[in-house]
Amino acid sequence: MSGADLDDRETVERLDPEGLLARIEALPEQCEEAWQRARSLELPAAHAGASDIVLLGMGGSAISGDIVRSLSAASGGKPVALVRGYDLPASVGERTLVIACSHSGNTEETLSAYGQAIAAGAMTAVITTGGRIAELASDAGAPVFAYEYEGEPRSSLGHQLMTLVALGERIGLLESQQAAVAEATALMREQRARLGYSARETQNEAKQLARRLRGRLPIVVGAGVLTEAAYRWKTQFNENSKCWAIAEQLPELDHNSIVGFGLPDVSALHAVFLRSGGLHPRVLLRYDATADALEDAGVSCEVVDTPGESALARVLAAVFHGDLVSYYLALLYGISPSPVAPIDKLKARLAES
């Protein structure tokens, strides 16, 4: 067996002194607690009349916006745009609601875009632990939905997502998500019993997948709301496993990427298809056809089926599964999954400019 022993608790104690495993496995409780808190949040009445919504975020603070945007598209809510960068769309004006998500409150791109929202006279709100963005919002008289969390931005998904979902209900962006949240937390608890660290590798599909991915380049494919989960898998491989990864979307990849499946050397590739119910039947047909095309090109691949009746439950179950796989892959590479030294180094350099 190559790599670390994934059933040996000493491996976790040695490689994860920061305790990331506990934070990953606590996502069901984080979502549940954050949802209960978010249900009591209040928005100015005018915010519900917004004509369109713009969400701001970077890195681990953007994934919740990805998910809510996808949920809104499926439920026929108001137009939603997600900005990952310094500048707002020129269309933002007084009838736009801009919601900024920044775990630290000091993300420079989000601060820039939020300042532009204030200047444009847009309605605004902020989700954060504090920092400069909370100060800007308070000065502008905008609501600040603050949460307390000791951990990485990518590990605070539940706090930001549940707050956005609750606000989405208030402004008519989403239908009631109460049942979906209950389903999602129950599903993730069930997954934790099967896929968490206490479940031995011989019976643990997440550990087994991580071992198959060791030394390979992960290509994660999703469709519908699982497109957002596929991207989360990609970024968690980057930050937790410290490795390259690629995210692809069906049916789009069948119109371009499929032509390049055979080159260059594909022996280091392994594709993971995230699949669930609720997808368009023609898209489901494309899963099998695309997997066959990959195998014809010599690329190994497999399917991870995601449970859940509601879209929110399906995407969170897929996210939880991927978070665990990325953690186990870090252990197999013999590295600490929590630190992100290259990001810290880049931020320090930019702070000097």
- Catalytic residue IDs: 239, 255, 347
Nearest CA among 265, 266, 267, 223 for reference residue 247 = 223
For every residue of 232-270, DSSP letters joined together read HHHHHHHHTS-S--EEEETTGGGGTGGGGTT-S--TTEE
Nearest CA among 140, 325, 319 for reference residue 241 = 325
Residue 4 to residue 239: CA distance in whole angstroms: 19
- Identify the residue whose tokens are 């991927």: 322
Residue 123 to residue 137: CA distance in whole angstroms: 11
- Tokens found for residue 195: 């896929």
- Tokens found for residue 265: 């050397």
Helix, strand and coil percent figures for the chain, each rounded to 5: 55, 15, 35
In eight-state DSSP terms, residue 46 is: G
Residue 86 to residue 114: CA distance in whole angstroms: 9
For every residue of 284-295, DSSP letters joined together read HHHHHHHHHHHH
Q: Is 106 exposed, middle or buried (0-12, 13-18, 19+ CB in 10 A)?
A: middle
Please tell me whether the peptide bond between 264 and the residue prior to it is cis, using omega within 30 degrees of 0: yes
One-letter-per-residue 3-state SS of 207-222: HHHHHHHCCCEEEEEE
Q: What are phi and psi of 269, to 5 degrees?
A: -95, 150
Please tell me whether the peptide bond between 251 and the residue prior to it is cis, using omega within 30 degrees of 0: yes
